Chains A and B, each alone.
Chain A
Amino acid sequence: MPGSNGRELTLAQAIREALAEEMRRDSRVFILGEDIAEAGHPFKVLTGLVEEFGTDRVLDTPISEAGFTGVAVGAAMTGLRPVVDIMFGDFVTLTMDQMVNQAAKVHYMSGGKWKVPMVLRTTLGATRRSAAQHSQSLHAWFCHVPGLKVVLPSTPYDAKGLLKTAIRDENPVAFFEDKMMYRLKGPVPEEEYTIPFGVADIKRAGDDITIVATSSMVQVALGAAKLLEEAGISAEVIDPRTLWPLDEKTLIESAKKTSRVIVMDEGYGRYGVVAEIASVIAEGAFFDLEAPVKKMGAMHVPIPFSPPLEDATVPTEQSVFDAARAMCG
């Protein structure tokens, strides 16, 4: 990471800065979605963009996720670079035909003749007391589909660099932001940078156990690592940053080094991201493992409203600490 000279941004500011820089750099880039212009999005991630770029490039749409995602697919095929804003990750269900049957397949089905350089930005993450239809983490759905790339930043620095890469990519990219992390601050340098896809980042080096964590779970993993350190256990925390392409090599190398692995992700564990990464590690580092790979995803229930119930559905620093200590015991 280049030095930030002490400059810190929130994750929301980093996203906004990435969008603004790419829109200044490339007149083909535009944003479309619900309440994104004057309203700047309910999470205020996009505040100020319409003032700089106008309503032609920061476009308020009807509440028609399937429709405007489809418009974005067509616009991407014909010379523009749309960034689709899907207000809550739960609403990606409405876009699935356009993303899965259209965007993901256009390049392959046309024998490589048409391409779809678009980004779909949306959110993930529970614990905002928003109940079952505004709290899901459905990124695994996109990971399942060839032709899509899937990005989950966990810091303001990563968010900015990865979003710029996503906008410049020639393919449809699904970009998931943890809505609870928009106010998370972190160093972001002034100068231009991008982060390549398929390169995991070791957020904390360690020797005794590897914790692979994505997005919202990275901070939880780092908190758990601190608790583990006090208990004499050295945890390595790795963030894959992009789930496809996936940096299998870094994950497997760390697993071989520490011989114990926990995989964390806020999506559902069953048939989910944690299952896939656990299997990659099991296949790649089987003879070096001292214990089965431990999966920690969201509990397999619709996200409940009641706060104590909701809090019980996602891994916590304590639950990770307990699992790690049991594995290292």
Chain B
Amino acid sequence: MATAVDRSPLDSKTEDELWLRVYRRMVTIRLFEEQVNDLYTRALMPGLAHLYIGEEGVAVGICEALRPDDYITSTHRGHGHCLAKGATPDRMFAELLGKEAGYCKGKGGSMHIADPATGNLGANAIVGGSAGIATGAAFSAKRLGTGQVSVCFFGEGALGQGSLYEVMNMASLWKLPVVYVCENNLYNEYTHFSEVTAGDILARGTAFGLESEAVDGQDVRAVHATAKRLVERARRGEGPALLLANTYRYHGHHVGDVSRDYYRSKQEEQQWKSERDPIQILSAWLTAQKLADAASLGQIQAEAKAEIDQAVQFATAAPYPGVDKVAQDVYAGE
């Protein structure tokens, strides 16, 4: 057919734009989290902060494989997922500081950012707590025929929660368009996952008939390629998947967890940072492919830094909600 348009491969320009956009997103998340660390340690941020630094390739690689209207659920370590799905740093920071301008009017905070406009069903502070929600969203997508896919991000700590397997079973029985993404950063809070996780992680997915694959979570291109395949497979109605992304948490369980000697060595941390850093791995590839050079990458970093600085200024200056708002939003429609 002479008039047929070849839609299969991305043209090279789009491909280049994709990886530069991915780089920008990863850098933005890294800078966002460094700023959170700074605000928190200067006692300017209330509550808890669980940093995503080191894991950026997972959230960005996967969210770049999603449509804007696809759903995600996130975790207590969720800033990266929210930003990767399209949240803006200014309203993120505002939420982290408990300000009215935040994504949840300051009522959710760091662990509960939700945003219907970007398909974010919410970060969840119960480990494994969002597996049902993500599966239910996939149920709706299938029932309503919207073509949406739902991605459930969870840490390897959630592998200990039984409800995860309950919903995997249903997702498989009902062929729901959901991808369960296990981010294995090696530590359930302060305990190495191997001490509390028996058997083989992927086998837990295959036991339920889920398409189950592991990927190097520090290689955003590998994450993206695998995610795209599993997401599109789910979108075609071919069923749910489990994607195990092997990654590493550079910081502690939360910002206050600074003395980590009793559960892991500084050498281990240093090794991941110097040899397996997802941003360095991508920038090396971009440079080798001549898609970028030190100057262009530096410019992206500077722009991202400016965005973060402005966002912090916005959030710091934004007002707290009035105390009269405390009882609002308990019930919908009232």
Instruction: Point out residues on A near B: beta carbons under 8 Å.
Output: 30, 56, 61-62, 64, 66-80, 82, 97-98, 101-102, 106-117, 146-147, 149, 169-171
Q: Looking across the interface, which residue of chain A has its beta carbon closest to that of B146?
A: A79
Which residues of A have CB within 8 Å of B132? 66-74, 98, 102
Assess whether B143 is in contact with A80, with CB atoms less than 8 Å apart. Answer: yes
Chain B residues with Cβ below 8 Å from A71 are 132, 135-136, 139, 167, 170
**Do B170 and A64 have beta carbons less than 8 Å apart?**
yes
Whether A78 pairs with B332 at a CB distance below 8 angstroms is no
Whether A114 pairs with B331 at a CB distance below 8 angstroms is: no
Q: List 27 A-B contacts (CB under 8 A).
A: A61-B170, A64-B167, A66-B163, A67-B135, A67-B167, A70-B135, A70-B136, A72-B132, A74-B133, A74-B139, A75-B140, A77-B121, A78-B71, A79-B140, A79-B144, A107-B329, A107-B331, A108-B329, A108-B330, A109-B112, A110-B104, A110-B108, A111-B108, A113-B103, A114-B121, A115-B332, A171-B333
* B 92-131 binary contact with A (CB < 8 Å = 1; else 0): 0000000000111111100010111000011010100111
B26 interfacial by beta-carbon distance below 8 Å: no
CA distance A44 to B243 in the complex (A): 41
Among A67, A68, A112, A169, point to the contact of B328 (Cβ < 8 A): A112
Which single member of A75, A107, A112 contacts B137 (CB below 8 Å)? A75
Alpha-carbon separation in the docked complex, A278 to B253 (Å): 46
Q: Count A-B contacts at CB 8 Å.
A: 153
Q: Is the pair B167, A70 in contact by a Cβ cutoff of 8 Å? A: yes
- The interface residues of chain A lying within 8 Å CB-to-CB of B136 are 70-78, 82
The complex places the Cα of A106 from the Cα of B104 at a distance, in Å, of 10
Q: How far is the CA of A209 from the CA of B203 in the complex (A)?
A: 65
Instruction: Report the Cα distance A163→B333, complex, angstroms.
Output: 18
Shortest Cβ gap from B238 to chain A (Å):
19
Contact B166 A74 (CB under 8 A): no
With A77-B133, A78-B141, A111-B104 already in contact, 12 other A-B pairs whose C-beta atoms are closer than 8 Å: A70-B163, A71-B139, A74-B134, A74-B139, A80-B144, A98-B163, A109-B107, A111-B108, A112-B329, A112-B332, A114-B121, A170-B332
With known contacts A74-B136, A75-B140, A109-B114, A67–B330 Cβ distance under 8 A: no
Are A74 and B122 touching (Cβ within 8 A)? no
Cβ-neighbour of B163 out of A67, A113, A170 (below 8 A): A67
State A112–B129 Cα separation when bound (angstroms). Answer: 20
- In this complex, the member of A56, A61, A62, A113 whose beta carbon has the largest number of chain B beta carbons within 10 angstroms is A113
Complexed CA–CA distance, A19 and B139 (Å): 20
CB distance from B174 to the nearest CB of A (A): 8
- A110-B122 in contact (CB<8A): yes
The one of B115, B170, B333 in contact with A113, judged by C-beta atoms closer than 8 angstroms, is B115
**Which listed residue, A111, A146, A149, touches B102 by the CB 8 Å rule?**
A111
Q: How far is B282's CA from A175's CA once the two chains are assembled, in angstroms? A: 53
| Cβ contact of B166, chosen from A62, A80, A114, cutoff 8 A | A62
Q: What residue of chain B has the Cβ atom nearest to residue A74's Cβ? A: B136
**Complex alpha-carbon distance, A46 and B163, angstroms:** 26
B322 partner residues in chain A, CB cutoff 8 A: none
Q: Is B162 an interface residue (CB 8 A)?
A: yes
Chain B residues closer than 8 Å to A64, beta-carbon distance: 163, 166-167, 169-170
* CB of B173 within 8 Å of the partner chain: yes
Bound: A133/B134 CA distance, A? 31
Please indicate the chain A residues that have their CB under 8 angstroms from the CB of B332 in the complex.
107, 112, 115-117, 170-171
Give Cα distance in the complex from A273 to B102, angstroms.
37
| CB closest chain-B residue, reference A66 | B163
> When the two chains form the complex, which single residue of A73, A107, A113, A147 contacts B133, counting CB atoms closer than 8 Å?
A73
Among A69, A82, A109, A112, which residue has the most Cβ atoms of chain B within 10 A?
A: A109
Nearest chain B CB to A67's CB is how many angstroms away? 3
Which chain A residues lie closer than 8 Å to B169 at the CB level? 62, 64, 67
- Of chain A, the residue at the smallest CB distance from B141 is A78
A146 to chain B: which residues have CB within 8 Å? Answer: 330
Which of A69, A75, A117 has most chain B Cβ within 10 Å? A75
Expressed in whole angstroms, the minimum distance between the Cβ of A262 and any Cβ of chain B is 30
Set of chain B residues within 8 Å of A62, measured between Cβ atoms: 166, 169-170, 173
Task: Give Cα A111–Cα B330 distance, bound, in whole angstroms.
Answer: 9
Contacts of A75 in B (CB 8 A): 136-137, 139-140, 143
Whether B112 lies near A110 (C-beta < 8 A) is yes
Q: Which residue in chain B gives the minimum CB-CB distance to A60?
A: B173
Quote the shortest CB–CB distance from B192 to chain A (angstroms): 26
Residues of B near A68 (CB, < 8 A) are 132, 166, 170
B162 A74 Cβ-Cβ under 8 A: no
Evaluate contact between B114 and A110: CB separation under 8 angstroms: yes
Alpha-carbon distance A74/B151, docked complex (angstroms): 12
Return chain A residues, CB-CB under 8 Å to B133: 70, 73-74, 77, 102
Given contacts A66-B162, A70-B167, contact A102 B129 (CB under 8 A): yes
Within the assembled complex, what's the spacing in Å between the Cα atoms of A148 and B293? 56
* Distance A62 CA – B208 CA, assembled complex (angstroms): 13
Q: Which residues of B contact A149 (CB under 8 A)?
A: 331
A56: chain B residues at CB < 8 Å are: 143
For chain B residues 159-198, which have a beta carbon within 8 Å of chain A? 162-163, 166-167, 169-170, 173
* A-contact bits for B143-158, CB 8 A (1 contact / 0 none): 1100000100000000
Closest chain-A Cβ to B237's Cβ sits at a distance in Å of 15
- In Å, the complex CA distance between A61 and B174 comes to 10
Lowest 3 A-B CB distances belong to which pairs?
A70-B132, A74-B136, A67-B166
Complex CA–CA separation, A67 to B169 (angstroms)? 9
Give bound CA distance, A174 to B273, whole Å: 49
The residue in chain B whose Cβ has the minimal distance to the Cβ of A56 is: B143
